[in-house]
Each structure stands twice: as C-alpha cells, then as structure tokens.
Structure 1
Amino acid sequence: MKLLLPLLLLFTTGSIRAQSVETFADSIRQQYRIPALGFAVISSDSVLVCHTTGVQRFNTSYTVKSDDRFHIGSNTKAITAFIAAQLVKEKKIQWNTTILSLFPELRWRTRYVYDTVTLANLLTFRGKLQGYTYNTPKPAFEDLHGNYAQQRMQLAADFLTQEPMKTNNGLTPSNVDYIVAGLMLEKASGKSYKELVNDLGKQLQIDFRFDYPNLKDTLQPWGHDADLRPLPPAESYKMNWLLAAGNINVRLDEYTRFIQLQLKGLKGKSNLLPQKTFEQLLFGMPVFSYGWFGNIDEVTGHHIATNEGNAGAFITKVQVIREADRAYVVFTNAATAETQEGIAVLLKELSLRYGR
C-alpha cells in the first residue's frame, strides 16, 4: 500500500501542475492500479472537462470508451430523492406522507415507533430502520418469494417489525430507508421505480440503466472487487432489492447532465423544480440531506454536497460546491483501498486547478 502524503506533496510540484489534467489523471490511474477512470468538472453553464482513461478489465487490452457505463451505487439516492421532489411538485405525494398512510395493510405488524416516519425522514436517513447493505447475510433470497417488487415489500415489512436503529450524529443511515421510500414513490405514482427513473432520463436525455454494466453487455466495463479481481456477469438479488438505494449505471458524459442540473437549480435556472427545492435537496438538513451528505469547507466556507457509490466493484464519487459553482465527478471500476486513495488525490488536484 502506498503512502498518500508523500504522493500528495509530489503532486503539488510545478512539473506536475504543468501536465494536462488528462495526463495527470492517467498517471493517478496507473499509480493506484485503477483499471478504468473517468472524471468530469462541471459548472452551471458548461462541462469544463469530461474524460475517461484505462481499460475495461484489469490486465487486458480492452480500452475503456467515452460512452462506457459505470455503476454509481449510492449516488442513485440523489436520483431517487429528485424523483420524489418531482412527485411532490405534482402533488402525487407529500414530504410528510407516512409509510402507513400508503400501506395501511402493514399496520398489524409494524412497531409503533415507525407510525410517524415520513417520506422526508426516509430520504434524509432519519427513518430509524435497521441497516442493510450488499453484504448483509439475512434475509437471503430463499427467505422471500415472488418477483423483486414483491420481495422488496416483504423486506420492508420485515424491517418494520424490528427495533429501531440507534441514532448516530442525528442519523440512522440505512439502505432500507430508500427501499421503503422507493415503494412509497411507486404506490403514489402508479409506476414502477424503473419507469420513474426512465421518465427522468427522458426529460434529461440520459439513458439510465440498472445492475452492473457487464450483465447485459460483456463489452462494457467489469467491476473489480477489493482484491482487484474482475467480477464476471451475474445478477444480484440484493442489488435488485436495493434498487432505489444504489443500482443505477450510466455513462459519464450523460451523468454530467444530472449533476449540472443541480448547479443550475441552485442558481434558480431550472424549470424542473424551484430553487428552494434544490436547496432543500442538497443542503436542507445537517449532515445528510436528500441523497447528499453535506459539509462546509474549513478554508473557503463553501457548502459541499457529496456522496459515494460503492457496491463492491465500482467506486464513484460526486461533489457539488454551491458557492464555487463547481461539481466534480469521478467514476472507477474497482473497489480497492488503492482506488479510494487515487480518487482522493485526483479530487484534490482538480479542486486546485478548477476551484473549491
């Protein structure tokens, strides 16, 4: 494992700064053994850079292409929250709509502590439901029945019988919050979650898809696990359960449209949602808003909305900086510790070159 600090010091030298950002990014990719790396720098009125480099599978010659797809994991949450905001605007659901008001049939087995949990609570990690990730062993596939939609409802019903999670910094971070929120959006709209995502994609001219990219096309990037082993195509029932929490894949150049929309909206330049709604989504709550973690840069005082997607094979990182009118996106197809280090170095350099 390489030491990060010496490398950070090295990358602040004038010779490195003289490199093109594309050359610099590829040097990071090679240094940290990241098979494929994509990155973009965005303002509200332009895409300053959007570039991919590397290979679709480690130790192969399958060059990554500009229109290749990457799994964005938990960055899906911001998309789910955005869809919720649109449905609120259309008066199909409200932020204070409770779980049981849409699913009264669950009343008989739901703990009373969840009676007042709302859509807004779920989307801001304040739903109190116990945690569940791609690595949680139970329930297993054989424990549930029916299609994936029916299984998600059974999974939600089961978690509503469990004791609430203890709060951490005011939050109860759980992917189950987003499973339940997704079910609520489906019930309120009369559409499946995939249909809702596709509707948003049509509005933004983005071809959102689901699962790891190589499941449907082996000539797309393969994800790599923590040991840098490429993962062959395989359907994951857990990712289908966690659909609204983290199972979208997308092209980098198209995803920049969704991120640029956030910057436009923060400036009041979007007709899809009011400016105050964009403020609510990205910065409306402390620590975690609607699909976005938030912090304040200690040096600049700027507000930063950020999230990371990592379903065990791809790591994607997104930052939206309100006052700087900048957003940074990094896509990779590996989930190693070195990948995390490389992303951190790249983001630091991008912020030095383009603003923070």
Structure 2
Amino acid sequence: MQSSRRAWLIGAGALGLAGSGRAAEDLFSGVWSTAIVTDEVMTRFLLELSPNAATLVVIDTGGLRVPAASVTLDPPNLKAVWSEGITVTGRLVAPDRIEGTFEQDGARQPFILTRGAKYRIDDTVLPPGPLDLQRLKRLRRLSGAPAMGVAFAYRGRKPTILVDGLRSADAEVAVAPGDAWHIGSDTKSMTATLVARLVEAGRLQWTTTIGEVLGPALPDMHPDYRDVTLLHLLSHRSGLPREIEQKDMVSFAVARPADPRAARQAFVARGLKRPPIGPKGTTLSYSNLGYITVAAMLEAREGAPWETLMRERLFTPLGLGSAGFGPPGDPLKVDQPFGHLRRADGRLHSVADPRKSDLPFVYGPAGLVHINHGDMLTYLAAHRDRRADILGPESWRVLHTPPFDGQYMSLGWGVGPDGELGHTGSNGQWWHQVLVAPKTGLIFCAGLNAATPEAQSAVNQAQEAARRSAA
C-alpha cells in the first residue's frame, strides 16, 4: 500500500531517440533515475529497461520492484503498461535524458529521467548469526530508519522483543519495547480472521457473494462482480482492480467519522463500477479494494463498523489491548513512534500531521491497524497453534490454504515452503513484516518507522537471524 501523501502509485518513464541509427535496445537498455517532489515530499525511482522488459524500482517504498505487463519500443518513443492501471509514455530528447508522462487512472504526472543509477540501495549482508540486540542495532543502522523493532518466539519459549532507535527523527525520544507499530497490509490476515469468526457464528458463508449482500444498495455495480465470493476477495482472486480511480481518492482523504460505514460503501460503490482486470478465480490481482469490499459486506450484514467488529470479535477475545487504527499515539506528542517521509532536503522527517500521516480511513480493513509486538506475537501464535477457543480446525484450514489454483495467496497470507505464512505491509511511512512457521514453531514480526530503500533487506536479515535463534 502506498502513502496518502500523493495519488501516484509510482512515477517514472521510458524513452527513445530518432535518427541515431542505433538499435532500439541500445537506446533504451540500462538504468534510469528520477525524483519527484510533491507537497515537499521527495520520492525517488529507478527504471530498469531491457529490450523486452521494464521494471520500476520505488526507492522510497522499501525498494519496491514493479515489473511492467508490456513494453513497446518505437524509437524515439517508448510505452510501458503496468497491470496496476499505470501507463508510462516517454521520449528520448538527448542520449541521457528522457521526458515523459506517468499516468494512473486518468491522472498525469510529468517526469524527467537521467541515465544511470543515481540512487543506491545498500545491499550489505551481515555475517550469519542469532538475533540479539547488537545485531538489531546494526540492522537498524543499515536500514536507515529512525527506529526498528523485532519480536520472535518459539513454542514453549519466552518471547524476545528487541528495539533500537528513535520514535522520531526530529526528537530525541527512544523507542520502547511496548511501543506500537503501524502494520499496513499485515492487517489483511486480521480481516480474514474476523470473517472466519463470523462464518463460524453463522452470520455468513465463505461463498456469500457481493451481489447477495451489497446488490440491493449498489444496483449499478459491474455485473461480473455480483457472484464474486468472500473467498475470491480474501485471496485476491476477485478480478477487482487494486484501488478506485485516483481522481476519486481525494474525496476520502478526510478525518475518520464516528461511523465510517456510509463512506466505506461509497468508496466500494465507485470501485465496483470499474471493469474487472480479469476473470474471477483465475486472475491473481492484489487488491486493497477487495478487502474494503469485504468490510462493506460485513458492515451491511452486521450493522456495525468494521472497526467495532474487529475490537469485539478479534482484539478483545485475543487480549490485544494495544491494537487500534491508524498511526499509533497522539500526533501532538512523541508518546509512540511516528512514521517518516523523505522531504525535499533529502532527509527523513516524522509525519505528525494527522491529515497526512496515513491512508484514507476507508482503508482500515486493508491496512490501517497498529499494534505492539507483544500483542502481535499473541496474534501470530493463535495462527501457529490454531487456537481452538478462537476458531475450529476447518476454519483455520480455510484461512491458511490457497482456495484456487496456485500456491501463493491464502486468505490474507502469502503461503511459502512447508506451509509457512507471511506478509509485508507499508503505507509508505512504515514497514512491517510477519511470519508464522508451523513446522519449526517460529513466529516473527518486525517493524520500521520508515519505508527506506533497505527496509526489506534489514527485515529479511532479522528474520533469518531469528531462525538461527532456535537453539
């Protein structure tokens, strides 16, 4: 998930050169760099080009790599299209300069690319070893984030919680072991677990469709969505686009109302008018809109906001007292970690303005939970141990098993070797990752209060060190 500071998911472009006599691959191949400053926030990109491929690297969102679905070279022009609804057109105006336009859902952003990898991602890998405070300190420095926290546990062993750094790059207040972290899209497995509890309560079924629940209120939804089920939505197999159109986002970037149900249904109504990007069941398309649609279905069926349902049916039964919604803490105090953005001066600064510190409130079920790492381990242990007081065996099986062809996404989880469950979340200002390894008994979570270029590497190295801490 991307930050609400801008509408652009990613912003970069492509190129060409007329009349040079050079092969298209010679003109286009290589790495190109650009930086866009919007509302005093700097976002840096690399564009990696080869004759038949283009990949955008979003430097300031954990080095996120986004491969293009198609690339057309027609010197001096290039066009690249991404499945996320992004189109880039560019023109080589000099051997080392491209001018072009980045377009997403009808909104446009101009760019200038220069040849070469101007922005480096530090790929340092520490020597292997167990996860302790000294290793965490080194990883936090490697990450470049103001603060980093990790927690892990094995069956029958006391949890380990380690933290290092500052709650804010703009204040000398140290992060604490009990501090909460914004977990971004790691929220999705929580929403799926809530659905499972409602299924067991007989309130709905895994095969309940959008049309059954929202059809009367949204009669003009695209007809292909009427028989899309909760299983389709929760496994990213609904065919829904990732988001609503960017031009419609601004109307939801407001303070969260006491009862967000009407706004969330209005958001979903706009999304369900968009045509599917592929057939349900066979199209794997990561969709925040899908999870927001699930929440709208739950709200319509239960007559209560998703936030209330989460507290009553998941947080309270599990004893997750630190769990809440949006950035943790008081934005006028430094009582919890702040998320961070890179400003025009090139440095990370904390985001304390509540109007800019998160995604729109309607995104709650897709990625707006905060929680401390002690409580997160409790949640992860429930999935590892398949706690019988939370769900029955069949519900746990459904949650952890990809319901359609392929072995990638179950319900809110990525599924890896040996049945491991994992996920990564970010709103562009935080980075968070979770792991459940049933066979070894390891549960792990890690958070940073900035989505730095090295965030993913630092967290992956911490996770590998936790694996080495089994003895």
Q: Give the TM-score range, shorter chain.
A: 0.7 to 0.9
User: Which of 156, 162, 167 is the aligned partner of 1:51?
Assistant: 162
In the TM superposition, 1:1-356 aligns within 5 A as 1=120, 3-4=122-123, 7-8=124-125, 10-12=126-128, 17=129, 21-58=132-169, 60-106=171-217, 108-132=219-243, 137-142=246-251, 148-166=260-278, 170-199=283-312, 200-207=314-321, 208-216=323-331, 218-219=333-334, 220-225=336-341, 228-235=348-355, 238-265=359-386, 269-285=387-403, 286-296=407-417, 302-354=418-470
Deviations 1:225-268 (A, max 9, x none): 25523212313584311111001111111111111111110xxx
5+ residue gaps, structure 2, are 1-119
Gap change, CA 1:260 and 1:143, over 3 Å in 2: closer
Contact 1:218/1:233 (8 A) holds in 2: no
State the AA in 2 paired with 1:277: S
SS of the residue aligned with 2:204? coil
Distance in 1 separating the partners of 2:330 and 2:400: 32
Kept in 2, the 8 Å contact 1:131–1:165? The answer is: no
**Residues 164 and 333 (structure 1 numbering): CA distance in 2 closer, same or farther, change over 3 Å?**
same
Tell me, what secondary structure is at the counterpart of 2:340? coil
Moved more, 256-265 or 38-47: 38-47
- The answer on whether the counterparts of 1:144 and 1:154 sit within 8 Å (CA) in structure 2 is no
2:441 and 2:402 mapped to 1: Cα distance? 18
- Larger RCO of the pair (alpha carbons < 8 Å, separation 6+): 1
1:186 to 1:78, Cα distance in 2 relative to 1, 3 A: same
3-state SS, counterpart of residue 138 of structure 1 = helix
Q: Could you tell me how far apart the structure 2 residues matched to 1:153 and 1:353 are? A: 46
Q: Given that residues 315 and 334 in structure 1 are in contact (C-alpha distance below 8 angstroms), is that contact kept between their aligned partners in structure 2?
A: yes
Structure number with the higher helix fraction is 1
Opposite residue 203 of structure 1, the aligned amino acid is P
**Structure 1 residue 44, shift from structure 2 partner:** 4.0
C-alpha separation in 2, matches of 1:70 and 1:228? 18
Deviation at 1:176, TM superposition (A): 0.5
What's the secondary structure of 2:371's corresponding residue?
strand
- Structure 2 CA distance, aligned partners of 1:258 and 1:171? 27
Q: Describe the SS at the equivalent of 2:428.
A: coil
**Shift in CA distance, 119/11, structure 1 to aligned 2, threshold 3 Å:** same
Q: Distance in 2 between matches of 1:22 and 1:316?
A: 18
**Given that residues 341 and 348 in structure 2 are in contact (C-alpha distance below 8 angstroms), is that contact kept between their aligned partners in structure 1?**
yes
Q: Give the whole-Å Cα distance in 2 for the aligned partners of 1:275 and 1:153.
A: 32
- Structure 1 residue 140, shift from structure 2 partner: 3.0
Q: TM-score, normalised by structure 2?
A: 0.67
Percent identity of paired positions between Structure 1 and Structure 2: 22
What is the DSSP-based 3-state SS (H/G/I as helix, E as strand, rest coil) of the residue aligned with 2:378? helix
Deviation (angstroms), 1:284: 3.7
**Deviation of 1:20 (Å):** 6.4
Structure with the higher fraction of residues in strand conformation: 2
What TM-score, normalized to structure 1?
Answer: 0.87
Counterpart AA for 2:193: F
Paired amino acid for 2:326: D
Residue 76 of structure 1 contacts residue 245 of structure 1 at CA under 8 Å; is this kept in 2?
yes
Structure 1 position 112, deviation (Å): 1.6
SS at match of 1:62: strand
**Displacement, 1:63?**
0.4
1:283 Cα deviation from its structure 2 partner: 2.9
Separation of aligned partners in 2, 1:65 and 1:143: 33
278-287 or 116-125: bigger deviation? 278-287
Check conservation: 2:252, 2:360, Cα contact below 8 A. Answer: no
Q: Which runs of 5+ in 1 are unaligned?
A: 297-301
- Secondary structure of the residue that 2:267 maps to in structure 1? helix
**CA-to-aligned-CA distance 1:12-59 (integer Å, 9 cap, x gap):** 3xxxx3x76111111111232221111111234444312222110126
SS in 2 for 1:70: strand
Instruction: Letter of the 2:459 partner, please give it.
Output: I
Query: Within 2, Cα distance between the matches of 1:186 and 1:218?
Result: 33
Q: For the Cα contact (< 8 Å) 1:42–1:327, is it kept in 2?
A: yes
Q: Secondary structure at the match of 1:76?
A: helix
The one-letter code of the counterpart of 1:225 is L
1:35–1:57 contact (8 Å) kept in structure 2: yes
